[in-house]
Amino acid sequence: MKKILFLLLFGLFATTSQAQQFYRIKADVSIKDKLSNGSYRLTVGKAYYDKTSLKIVYKLSFPQKETIIIKDTTLYKITKDSVLVQSILASNEFSIFHLSLSGKLADYGLNSGNVARIYKISKVEKDKEGRVITTWSVIEKKLMNTLGKIKMANVNKRLDAIAFYDAKDKLLSQQFFKEYENFNGVEFPKQVTQISFNSDGTQNIQQTTYKNIIIDQENENEVYNYPIPTVGSKQPNKSPK
Protein backbone atom coordinates (compact mmCIF):
# COMPACT_ATOMS: atom_id res chain seq x y z
CA MET A 1 0.00 0.00 0.00
CA LYS A 2 2.82 2.42 0.87
CA LYS A 3 4.49 1.81 -2.48
CA ILE A 4 1.25 2.61 -4.28
CA LEU A 5 0.87 5.85 -2.33
CA PHE A 6 4.45 6.83 -3.08
CA LEU A 7 4.00 6.25 -6.80
CA LEU A 8 0.65 8.02 -6.74
CA LEU A 9 2.37 11.05 -5.29
CA PHE A 10 4.61 11.31 -8.32
CA GLY A 11 1.76 10.64 -10.68
CA LEU A 12 -0.06 13.71 -9.40
CA PHE A 13 2.84 15.99 -10.22
CA ALA A 14 1.83 16.89 -13.76
CA THR A 15 3.00 20.35 -14.78
CA THR A 16 3.32 22.31 -17.97
CA SER A 17 6.95 22.69 -19.06
CA GLN A 18 8.20 26.15 -19.78
CA ALA A 19 10.97 27.03 -22.18
CA GLN A 20 14.35 26.78 -20.47
CA GLN A 21 17.90 27.37 -21.54
CA PHE A 22 18.93 23.74 -21.07
CA TYR A 23 17.15 20.88 -22.76
CA ARG A 24 19.35 17.76 -22.83
CA ILE A 25 21.49 15.78 -20.43
CA LYS A 26 23.58 12.63 -20.87
CA ALA A 27 25.50 10.71 -18.21
CA ASP A 28 27.20 7.43 -17.52
CA VAL A 29 25.13 5.75 -14.83
CA SER A 30 25.88 3.04 -12.27
CA ILE A 31 23.04 1.76 -10.06
CA LYS A 32 23.73 -0.37 -6.98
CA ASP A 33 20.72 -1.98 -5.33
CA LYS A 34 20.68 -3.64 -1.92
CA LEU A 35 17.35 -5.43 -1.64
CA SER A 36 15.43 -6.27 1.51
CA ASN A 37 16.18 -9.99 1.06
CA GLY A 38 19.90 -9.27 1.37
CA SER A 39 20.74 -9.64 -2.31
CA TYR A 40 22.67 -7.10 -4.38
CA ARG A 41 22.25 -5.95 -7.95
CA LEU A 42 24.42 -3.77 -10.19
CA THR A 43 23.25 -2.01 -13.36
CA VAL A 44 25.60 -0.04 -15.62
CA GLY A 45 24.96 2.02 -18.73
CA LYS A 46 24.21 5.49 -20.04
CA ALA A 47 21.22 7.75 -19.45
CA TYR A 48 19.83 10.28 -21.94
CA TYR A 49 17.09 12.82 -21.25
CA ASP A 50 15.47 15.29 -23.64
CA LYS A 51 13.31 17.86 -21.87
CA THR A 52 11.41 18.85 -25.00
CA SER A 53 10.10 15.31 -25.52
CA LEU A 54 10.01 14.42 -21.77
CA LYS A 55 11.65 11.09 -22.61
CA ILE A 56 14.37 9.19 -20.73
CA VAL A 57 16.42 6.60 -22.59
CA TYR A 58 18.72 4.18 -20.77
CA LYS A 59 21.28 2.30 -22.87
CA LEU A 60 22.37 -0.43 -20.47
CA SER A 61 25.45 -2.60 -20.93
CA PHE A 62 25.44 -4.66 -17.69
CA PRO A 63 24.20 -7.14 -16.56
CA GLN A 64 22.90 -7.39 -20.11
CA LYS A 65 22.54 -5.16 -23.13
CA GLU A 66 19.12 -3.58 -23.22
CA THR A 67 17.39 -0.27 -23.85
CA ILE A 68 14.83 1.22 -21.47
CA ILE A 69 12.58 4.06 -22.60
CA ILE A 70 10.39 5.98 -20.17
CA LYS A 71 7.73 8.19 -21.73
CA ASP A 72 4.54 9.52 -20.13
CA THR A 73 3.26 6.68 -17.92
CA THR A 74 4.88 3.83 -19.84
CA LEU A 75 8.21 2.05 -19.58
CA TYR A 76 9.54 0.06 -22.55
CA LYS A 77 12.21 -2.56 -21.86
CA ILE A 78 13.87 -3.59 -25.11
CA THR A 79 16.29 -6.50 -25.48
CA LYS A 80 17.57 -8.29 -28.54
CA ASP A 81 14.68 -10.73 -28.55
CA SER A 82 11.77 -9.00 -26.86
CA VAL A 83 9.96 -5.82 -25.85
CA LEU A 84 8.26 -5.55 -22.47
CA VAL A 85 5.82 -2.73 -21.82
CA GLN A 86 5.06 -1.67 -18.24
CA SER A 87 2.64 0.93 -16.92
CA ILE A 88 4.12 3.30 -14.34
CA LEU A 89 2.83 6.25 -12.33
CA ALA A 90 6.01 8.30 -12.00
CA SER A 91 6.39 11.44 -14.09
CA ASN A 92 9.60 12.29 -15.94
CA GLU A 93 8.96 15.93 -15.04
CA PHE A 94 9.97 14.99 -11.50
CA SER A 95 13.05 13.04 -12.49
CA ILE A 96 16.43 14.32 -11.40
CA PHE A 97 17.19 15.09 -15.05
CA HIS A 98 14.19 17.36 -15.63
CA LEU A 99 14.42 19.11 -12.27
CA SER A 100 18.13 19.83 -12.74
CA LEU A 101 17.74 21.12 -16.30
CA SER A 102 14.80 23.30 -15.22
CA GLY A 103 16.59 24.68 -12.16
CA LYS A 104 13.90 23.27 -9.85
CA LEU A 105 15.80 20.60 -7.95
CA ALA A 106 16.34 22.83 -4.90
CA ASP A 107 12.64 22.56 -3.94
CA TYR A 108 11.94 19.39 -5.95
CA GLY A 109 9.55 21.37 -8.12
CA LEU A 110 7.01 21.63 -5.30
CA ASN A 111 6.67 25.37 -5.69
CA SER A 112 5.58 25.41 -9.33
CA GLY A 113 2.91 24.12 -11.67
CA ASN A 114 -0.11 22.12 -10.55
CA VAL A 115 1.72 20.65 -7.56
CA ALA A 116 1.84 24.11 -5.98
CA ARG A 117 -1.93 23.73 -5.51
CA ILE A 118 -1.41 20.46 -3.61
CA TYR A 119 1.46 21.34 -1.25
CA LYS A 120 2.37 24.46 0.68
CA ILE A 121 5.19 25.18 3.12
CA SER A 122 3.94 24.73 6.69
CA LYS A 123 7.21 24.95 8.63
CA VAL A 124 10.82 26.12 8.17
CA GLU A 125 13.57 25.50 10.71
CA LYS A 126 17.28 24.71 11.02
CA ASP A 127 18.74 21.49 12.39
CA LYS A 128 21.89 21.00 14.46
CA GLU A 129 23.98 20.77 11.30
CA GLY A 130 22.74 24.11 10.01
CA ARG A 131 20.59 22.60 7.26
CA VAL A 132 17.36 24.39 6.37
CA ILE A 133 14.50 21.93 6.99
CA THR A 134 11.27 22.70 5.14
CA THR A 135 8.02 20.83 5.73
CA TRP A 136 5.46 20.78 2.90
CA SER A 137 1.90 19.85 3.89
CA VAL A 138 -1.04 18.81 1.73
CA ILE A 139 -3.59 21.60 1.28
CA GLU A 140 -5.81 19.92 -1.31
CA LYS A 141 -8.66 18.52 0.80
CA LYS A 142 -9.46 15.70 -1.61
CA LEU A 143 -5.91 14.33 -1.23
CA MET A 144 -5.39 14.69 2.51
CA ASN A 145 -6.39 11.09 3.15
CA THR A 146 -4.13 9.81 0.39
CA LEU A 147 -0.93 11.86 0.50
CA GLY A 148 1.30 12.84 3.40
CA LYS A 149 3.78 15.58 4.13
CA ILE A 150 7.14 16.02 2.44
CA LYS A 151 10.22 17.21 4.35
CA MET A 152 13.38 18.45 2.65
CA ALA A 153 16.77 19.60 3.84
CA ASN A 154 18.79 22.21 1.94
CA VAL A 155 22.44 23.19 2.27
CA ASN A 156 23.66 26.33 0.50
CA LYS A 157 20.39 26.40 -1.48
CA ARG A 158 21.02 22.86 -2.76
CA LEU A 159 18.70 19.97 -2.01
CA ASP A 160 20.52 17.66 0.40
CA ALA A 161 17.74 15.23 1.36
CA ILE A 162 14.02 14.70 0.94
CA ALA A 163 11.58 12.44 2.80
CA PHE A 164 8.09 11.32 1.77
CA TYR A 165 5.40 10.32 4.28
CA ASP A 166 1.98 8.76 3.97
CA ALA A 167 -1.23 10.34 5.23
CA LYS A 168 -0.63 8.82 8.70
CA ASP A 169 2.86 10.36 8.96
CA LYS A 170 4.65 7.06 8.36
CA LEU A 171 7.93 7.40 6.48
CA LEU A 172 7.77 5.91 2.97
CA SER A 173 11.13 6.80 1.47
CA GLN A 174 14.15 9.08 1.67
CA GLN A 175 16.52 10.41 -0.96
CA PHE A 176 19.97 11.92 -0.42
CA PHE A 177 21.71 14.12 -2.99
CA LYS A 178 25.50 14.39 -2.80
CA GLU A 179 28.58 15.51 -4.77
CA TYR A 180 26.98 18.43 -6.60
CA GLU A 181 28.80 19.90 -9.54
CA ASN A 182 27.93 22.76 -11.86
CA PHE A 183 27.88 21.69 -15.51
CA ASN A 184 27.61 24.74 -17.76
CA GLY A 185 25.09 26.29 -15.37
CA VAL A 186 23.24 23.10 -14.40
CA GLU A 187 23.55 22.04 -10.75
CA PHE A 188 23.59 18.24 -10.74
CA PRO A 189 24.26 15.78 -7.87
CA LYS A 190 26.54 12.99 -9.02
CA GLN A 191 25.36 10.60 -6.31
CA VAL A 192 21.75 9.94 -5.33
CA THR A 193 20.76 7.40 -2.67
CA GLN A 194 17.18 6.29 -2.18
CA ILE A 195 15.90 4.26 0.78
CA SER A 196 12.43 2.75 0.45
CA PHE A 197 10.74 1.36 3.55
CA ASN A 198 8.53 -1.73 3.32
CA SER A 199 5.48 -2.47 5.46
CA ASP A 200 7.34 -5.30 7.24
CA GLY A 201 10.07 -2.96 8.45
CA THR A 202 12.66 -3.97 5.85
CA GLN A 203 14.16 -1.55 3.37
CA ASN A 204 15.57 -1.40 -0.13
CA ILE A 205 18.57 0.85 -0.80
CA GLN A 206 19.48 2.14 -4.24
CA GLN A 207 22.59 4.24 -4.89
CA THR A 208 22.96 5.85 -8.30
CA THR A 209 26.23 7.39 -9.44
CA TYR A 210 26.49 9.70 -12.47
CA LYS A 211 29.71 10.42 -14.37
CA ASN A 212 30.82 12.11 -17.60
CA ILE A 213 27.82 14.42 -17.61
CA ILE A 214 27.13 16.34 -20.82
CA ILE A 215 24.62 19.20 -21.05
CA ASP A 216 22.82 20.09 -24.30
CA GLN A 217 24.58 17.44 -26.37
CA GLU A 218 24.15 18.09 -30.09
CA ASN A 219 24.94 14.62 -31.45
CA GLU A 220 23.53 11.15 -30.74
CA ASN A 221 20.12 12.35 -31.88
CA GLU A 222 19.26 8.77 -32.79
CA VAL A 223 19.37 7.87 -29.09
CA TYR A 224 17.43 10.88 -27.80
CA ASN A 225 14.85 10.26 -30.54
CA TYR A 226 14.77 6.50 -30.04
CA PRO A 227 11.45 5.30 -31.51
CA ILE A 228 8.73 4.10 -29.16
CA PRO A 229 8.03 0.36 -29.71
CA THR A 230 4.53 -0.71 -30.66
CA VAL A 231 4.55 -4.27 -29.29
CA GLY A 232 4.82 -5.87 -25.83
CA SER A 233 2.85 -7.07 -22.87
CA LYS A 234 1.79 -4.81 -20.00
CA GLN A 235 2.54 -5.33 -16.33
CA PRO A 236 1.16 -2.48 -14.18
CA ASN A 237 2.71 -0.51 -11.33
CA LYS A 238 6.37 -1.39 -11.74
CA SER A 239 9.27 1.03 -11.72
CA PRO A 240 12.49 0.95 -13.79
CA LYS A 241 15.69 -0.37 -12.28
Does residue 200 or residue 186 have the better pLDDT? 186
Q: Could you report the per-residue pLDDT of 209-226, keeping only the tens digit for each?
A: 999 999 999 999 999 999
Average predicted confidence (pLDDT) for the chain = 88
Q: What is the 3-state secondary structure (H, E, C) of the chain?
A: CHHHHHHHHHHCCCCCCCCCCCCEEEEEEEEEEECCCCCEEEEEEEEEEECCCCEEEEEEEECCCEEEEEECCEEEEECCCCEEEEECCCCHHHCHHHHHHHCCHHHCCCCCHHHHHCEEEEEEEECCCCCEEEEEEECCHHHCCCCCCEEEEEECCEEEEEEEECCCCCEEEEEEEEEEEEECCEEEEEEEEEEEECCCCCEEEEEEEEEEEEECCCCCHHHHCCCCCCCCCECCCCCCC
Q: In the CATH scheme, what is the code of domain 2-224?
A: 2.50.20.10
Torsion angle (degrees, nearest 10) of CA 30, 106, 21, 19 = 110
pLDDT at 15 exceeding the cut of 60: no
Q: Could you report the per-residue pLDDT of 105-164, keeping only the tens digit for each?
A: 999 999 988 889 999 999 999 999 999 999 999 999 999 999 999 999 999 999 999 999
**Quick one: pLDDT at residue 19?**
38
CA distance 93 to 42: 26
Instruction: Determine the average pLDDT of the residues in 19-42.
Output: 91
**Quick one: pLDDT at residue 13?**
46
**Quick one: pLDDT at residue 230?**
79
User: Any idea where the domains of the chain sit in the sequence?
Assistant: 2-224
**Quick one: pLDDT at residue 191?**
98
Instruction: Determine the average pLDDT of the residues in 164-171.
Output: 96
Lowest mean pLDDT among 23-27, 30-34, 193-197, 227-231: 227-231
**Quick one: pLDDT at residue 231?**
61
pLDDT at 28 exceeding the cut of 80: yes
**Quick one: pLDDT at residue 16?**
38
